[in-house]
Structure 1
Amino acid sequence: MRITADKLNKLAHTVADSLAGIPECDFLEDRNTIRQEARKILTKLLADEMKLDAGARLKIASQRKIIVEGSQEWDILYRKYYNDEVKKLGI
């Protein structure tokens, strides 16, 4: 899933603000550093998800038969191959 830089920044701000609102959560760094680290983590997670998606799509495209995206068969295969890719990572 593609997320714009603005939306990613907004999400990182929300994470930092949410953590700051938890009384049991004390920051060792300033809030901006926390926000930047949250942004890095979110960016990596989205990149990993894109790799999983690409792997599943590649497997579907490599089928002998042409499978139309959006069809029931495509959806079933996508879920199966996506889950296979996740299992490869040990998640």
Structure 2
Amino acid sequence: MLLSEDKVAHLSHIILNVLKQSPAIRLTGEEGRVLREIKRVIAAELAQEEKLDQTVRAKLRSYSRLIVEGSAEWEVLYRKMFEEELRKQAKP
């Protein structure tokens, strides 16, 4: 799922505000640096998700019979393969 720069910035500010309000966390340094790091992490996660999406879609296209995108079967297979790919990447 692609997010606009405005949405990423908005999410970053929400995360920063939650971190600042948490008694278990003490932020040191400038907030701008923290916001940039939060944005970087969000962008990296979105890029990983996009890569996984492309991998799963390619696998579904490689099936010998056509599975129509948006069908119930496609949705189930997509979700199953996506989770499987996530597990593969999480292994050390």
- Shorter chain as denominator, the TM-score bin is over 0.9
Q: What residue number does 1:64 align with?
A: 64
Return the offset for 1:9.
0.6
2:50 is the counterpart of 1:54: no
Distance in structure 1 (CA, Å) of the matches to 2:32 and 2:15: 11
Q: Spell out the pairing of 1:65-84 with structure 2 (5 A cutoff).
A: 65-84=65-84
Return the offset for 1:19.
0.5
SS in 2 for 1:3: coil
Q: What residue number does 1:26 align with?
A: 26
TM-score, normalisation: structure 1:
0.92
TM-score, normalisation: structure 2:
0.91
User: Aligned residues: percent identity?
Assistant: 33
Return the offset for 1:90.
2.0
Q: What residue number does 1:11 align with?
A: 11
Q: What residue number does 2:42 align with?
A: 42
Q: Which runs of 5+ in 2 are unaligned?
A: none
- Root mean square deviation, CA, Å: 1.2
Distance in structure 2 (CA, Å) of the matches to 1:46 and 1:34: 18
The letter for the 2-side match of 1:41 is V
Distance in structure 2 (CA, Å) of the matches to 1:83 and 1:72: 17
Deviates further, 48-57 or 20-29: 20-29
- Count, aligned residues: 91
The letter for the 2-side match of 1:54 is Q
